[in-house]
Structure 1
């Protein structure tokens, strides 16, 4: 089974949709100036409505690590996704405080040595565009579990999993219709991921 994170949830009612489809992880964006950016009040309401069994990760871009630690300590988020130029020192600081970390890197950096729990491969910051999956090194060479992102949809997710063999997939715009989370798309994406196995 490949695990799936559904990201970019920005409405409180998105938590209800997540509860219905049960992804392995959900994400909200704290980085400013994005269409799906949430404020603290909305983030709290989403976490309150989201099933306890679904970990909620906050997406940050070159932001204050102390804020991340506070949000984690308060139970608002269960992990962080670093989408900027954060240093390995910052990753190590988060990990020392037991915060799970997703480090976003270019596809060519799939073999990067890091203290992060996962490396998320994305061609550019939340572009919603695919890249040539053939450039990803085979699973046998990888040291850190991979999350695959970028332009994944109900039409290409199975092929992406078969080719890249990621431990996780991360989907945002591919779970939407006209910019809003769509229950049917979310359900299909979770079903596809959970039926596919990242082979050794």
Structure 2
């Protein structure tokens, strides 16, 4: 099946919705000044209510590695997603602490090597914009599991999975209505992803 990550959770109630639909991963944004940015208190509340079987990834962009490690050590998150210009050394420093790392790249950067556990393709970090899916490399060219993000919705998810065969799909705005997580959309997205074996 195609795995699915539901990201951009910022309310404690979002954890309750995640528990109902059971995605393979979830995410919270720690990048300052974003609409869905969480503070430490909100992050702790989400993790406390979230099913322990759902790993939670923290999203960071050009932030101090020591600060990221300090957040990881509180057990709020079980993995790190790097959206900025972080170096391979940064990736390796996190991995030495047994932290799974998702490295985000634009489609134009897809062939740049990385030792990250996952490579996530997104046109512009967190913009919700769809890119040309023909730029996604076939499975035989991939060095690690590939995550696709950007403008994924219940209306287009199946077609994109059929065309690109991602290992994981990552949705943030596509499971919302008026900026708030929508249970029906979340459930539909998880069902679409999980029926693709």
**TM bucket normalised to smaller:** over 0.9
Q: CA-to-partner distance for each residue in 1:39-64, whole Å, 9 max, x for gaps?
A: 10000000000000000000001111
- The answer for unaligned runs of 5 or more in structure 1 is none
Question: How far, CA to CA, are the matches of 2:90 and 2:5 in structure 1?
Answer: 23
- The aligned counterpart of 1:82 is 82
The TM-score with structure 1 as length reference comes to 0.96
The equivalent of 2:29 in structure 1 is 29
Identify the residue that residue 186 of structure 1 maps to in structure 2: 186
Q: Which residue of 2 aligns with 1:92?
A: 92
Contact 1:95 1:115 in 2 (8 A): no
Equivalent residue, structure 2, for 1:58: 58
SS at match of 2:76: coil
What secondary structure, in the 3-state scheme, does the structure 2 residue paired with 1:131 have?
coil
CA distance in 2 between partners of 1:77 and 1:156 (Å): 29
Matched residue count: 197
Residue by residue over 1:133-188, the C-alpha shift from the partner in whole angstroms, topping out at 9 and shown as x without a partner, is 00111111111110000000000000111111110000000000010000000000
Q: Please give the alpha-carbon distance, in whole angstroms, between the structure 1 residues aligned to 2:76 and 2:136.
A: 33
Q: The residue matched to 1:170 in structure 2 has which SS?
A: strand
Distance in 1, Cα, partners of 2:115 & 2:96? 10
2:150 matches 1:150: yes
The equivalent residue for 1:9 is: 9
| TM, length-normalised to structure 2 | 0.98
Q: Unmatched 5+ residue regions in structure 2?
A: none
Cα drift, residue 112 of structure 1: 2.7
- Cα offset, 1:111, TM superposition: 2.9
Structure 1 outlier segments of 4+, above 2 Å: 108-112
Residue in structure 2 matched with residue 70 of structure 1 by the alignment: 70
- 164-173 or 63-72: bigger deviation: 63-72
Structure 1 residue matching 2:12: 3-state secondary structure = coil
RMSD of equivalent CA atoms: 0.8
The CA deviation at 1:114 is 1.1
- In 1: Cα distance, 2:164 partner to 2:108 partner: 13
Matched, 1:132 2:125: no
